[in-house]
Amino acid sequence: MSNHSKMLVALSAVVLLIGAFSVKSWVSGSAGESGSPQSVTGEAVVATVYKSPDCSCCASYVKYLEKKGFSVEVINKTDMYSVKDEYGIPNNMESCHTTVVGEYVAEGHIPAAAIEKLLTESPDISGIAMPGMPQGSPGMPGFKSDIFTVYSFSSGGATSKFMEL
């Protein structure tokens, strides 16, 4: 085997290992996130995820929430725009799925740490959102290449930075 071939085999092995680590990271959560979220009664927090029946990244996000200790109820919808309208999600904050946790809405591929902060602090807002489908976020393939910004939004459509991860 030539040196060039050996280098390609070694490089391929490294890429596979990095990819496997990346998948494991978003499925199990990052090291900085806390343990299982619990309600005041000590039971797992219920998260209702509205998603398209055909969306694989949404299904991966559901698995992520379950691994983080949430009790997840999935509601498949073919018309996600009506769900976003119902929960007052500003157009510029939309993502592919919508999660309802307690009295709040969590729009998109939001890390569990942000949802836990939302539930712990109970701010006077409608919910939080991470617009789009950021690469490397929970449920999305790839590597996290930048800081995730999670925004808060209110019923009037006002948005502001909630936290960065």
The pLDDT value given to residue 43: 74
pLDDT value, residue 35: 56
**pLDDT, tens digit, 9 for 90 and up, residues 96-116:** 999 999 999 999 999 999 999
102: left (phi over 0), alpha (psi -120 to 50) or beta: left
* Contact in structure between 142 and 136 (CB atoms under 8 Å): yes
Domain total of the chain: 1
**Domain range for 81:** 3-164
Whole-number percent of the chain with pLDDT over 70: 75
The alpha-carbon radius of gyration of the chain (Å, integer) is: 18
pTM for the whole thing?
A: 0.76
Task: Please tell me the predicted confidence (pLDDT) of residue 156.
Answer: 85
Host H or E run for residue 151: strand 149-153
- 53 and 96 Cβ atoms separated by less than 8 Å: no
CA distances from 151 to 5, 55, 67, 141 (A): 47, 23, 24, 22
What is the 3-state composition of the chain as percent helix, strand, coil, each rounded to the nearest 5? 35, 25, 40
Mean pLDDT per 10-residue section of the chain, whose length is 165 residues: 42 36 38 49 84 95 97 97 96 96 97 97 97 96 94 94 97
